[in-house]
């Protein structure tokens, strides 16, 4: 992998559902971004230890470690205390929304998401960060 070889914004998706990872891949294939997908928080750690994505989509319900616990751990790392994160989940619980907001998540999106919504959210977030899209 050629991480960081170009100046394309980096978008990370962490979700244990392979269909969701494929949906993000398909939705972003024509976008000028570098998409990194991981099926667990553990799988993503080697990348995230050395790289700060411009935007991260993080599933809440995952078998090894839930996304909120992972986000809490990520926020403790100086590199990721301000990383832009959007939570995605198939279950919409008020307590999850509250904790996600407390941890600085930008948004909380229900699954499944239409491809256009994924594209629009990525474009909007990158534009707000003044990233060249």
DSSP state of 78: G
> Bridge partners of 10?
34
* Burial of 33 per CB tally in 10 Å (0-12, 13-18, 19+): buried
Integer Cα distance of 131 and 24 in angstroms: 19
pLDDT digits (tens, 9 = 90+) for 81-132: 999 999 998 887 788 888 888 889 999 888 888 999 999 999 999 999 886 5
Indicate the average pLDDT of the chain: 90
Which of 1.10.10.10, 3.40.50.2300, 3.40.50.300, 3.40.50.970 is the CATH number of 10-128?
Answer: 3.40.50.2300
């Amino acid at each position: 992998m050629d991480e960081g070889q170009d100046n394309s914004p980096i978008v990370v998706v962490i979700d244990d559902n392979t269909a969701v990872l494929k949906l993000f891949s398909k939705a972003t294939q024509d976008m000028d971004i570098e998409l990194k997908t991981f099926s667990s928080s553990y799988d993503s750690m080697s990348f995230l230890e050395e790289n700060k994505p411009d935007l991260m989509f993080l599933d809440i319900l995952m078998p090894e470690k839930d996304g909120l616990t992972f986000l809490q751990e990520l926020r403790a790392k100086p590199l990721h205390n301000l990383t832009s994160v959007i939570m995605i989940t198939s279950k919409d619980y008020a307590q999850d929304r509250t904790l996600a907001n407390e941890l600085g998540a930008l948004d909380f999106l229900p699954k499944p998401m239409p491809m256009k919504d994924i594209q629009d959210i990525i474009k909007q977030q990158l534009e707000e960060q003044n990233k060249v899209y």
